[in-house]
Amino acid sequence: MSSTLNKKIYSYNPNFAVLNSIPENSKNLLDIGCGNGGLIDFYKGKIDGITISESEYEIAEKRLNKVFLHNLEKGLPEKLDKYDVIIASHVLEHIAFPENLLLDIKKVMNEKSVFIIALPNIMHYKYRFKLIFGNFKYENTGVMDYTHLRWYTFHSTQKMLKKSGFKITKAFVDGELPFYRITKILPKFVSNFSKKILFSISKGFFGMQLIYIIKKNI
């Protein structure tokens, strides 16, 4: 698996649910699983990044402040700074044993730091029905990305984070509505209201990705 990850390059597709959760006054950020470093186009503070991919490293080191070529199964690299914001957007599902990484993340946080996690939701209605009918096929991207090692649900993630000593200040879901090709033509306020209603009915069923805003327990 590691040799596969060493070659795969993730281009940066802006995750606005994550970007909109970054505090405006933050000055430095650690992007865990930084891909090609494309976050620099959306965040103007200082960015350090971590990647296991040699191919990504070659691109990202030209864009970000510092980039570390590192296997996150071993936790974080040594001698990192303290950061205002730490982001792990669609990263933890690639790690077999995330506990060491979560413990290390607390070490680079101060009392005001924010840790933002995004994860794919295996319990989204689309994948529930696929699994019910025995359709288990890995894909190049998305929830069934062939490099994913773990699956998470809205509640199992919260349990893991609390056990690791974090305080969850906000937990929500994001994603497209059912029949999204039709709903794309709806006025934005109608679409947003519909999402709000469906997510309130069941975050686990309708949310495509799980988002957590976290601080460490002092």
30-66: pLDDT as tens digits: 999 999 999 999 999 999 999 999 999 999 999 999 9
- Report how far residue 174's alpha carbon sits from residue 17's, in angstroms, rounded to the nearest whole number: 7
pLDDT value of residue 10: 61
The answer to whether 143 and 122 have CB atoms below 8 angstroms apart is: yes
What's the CATH architecture for 2-216?
A: 3-Layer(aba) Sandwich (3.40)
Beta bridge mates, 182:
none
- Buried (b) or exposed (e) across 110-139, using 16+ Cβ within 10 A? eeebbbbbbbbbbbbbebeeeeeeeeeeee
| pTM, two decimal places | 0.86
Spans of the chain below 50 pLDDT: 1-3
For the chain, give the longest Cα–Cα distance.
50
pLDDT value of residue 122: 87
pLDDT value of residue 169: 97
**Residue 8 burial by Cβ neighbours in a 10 Å radius (0-12, 13-18, 19+):** middle
Domain-wise residue ranges, the chain: 2-216
pLDDT value of residue 141: 77
